[in-house]
Homo-oligomer: A and B are copies of this chain.
């Protein structure tokens, strides 16, 4: 059985590459959607395309809104939303995506280390699986793709 999967969240490690490699090697019937994972162009897109801003609030606002077009399209199109929380940064955008996914009725898979279980309890409680590493996420996806 095939699925569309959106890989949201942390963009500073190669976890998305691991999943894409597994999809390719195992020929899993998954359409993979991602955010812009290039941090620099993600932050700068607003002022580069639409003109500079003196105030960083508006610089961020213009970028975040343009990126939201990609995020919202991916969230609405996905059957499964995977959100990875890393060990750095605030990652409120990842939690925000998880909230949108839950409210849209998408199946949520969360990946994070066990030492941040307590602050992520509300998101884990809405998730269909909480994985400790990307290998577990891949195993879940492989399991879900099997035909019977």
**Chain B min CB distance to A137 (Å):** 9
Let me know if B98 and A60 touch, CB within 8 A.
no
Q: Work out how many copies of this chain go into the complex.
A: 8
Let me know if A128 and B69 touch, CB within 8 A.
yes
Residues of A in contact (CB 8 Å), total 83
Taking CB atoms, residues of chain B closer than 8 Å to A72 are: 105, 107
**Chain B min CB distance to A148 (Å):** 4
Let me know if B99 and A143 touch, CB within 8 A.
no
Give A11's nearest chain B residue, CB to CB: B148
Taking CB atoms, residues of chain B closer than 8 Å to A37 are: 148
Taking CB atoms, residues of chain B closer than 8 Å to A33 are: 1
Let me know if A66 and B120 touch, CB within 8 A.
no
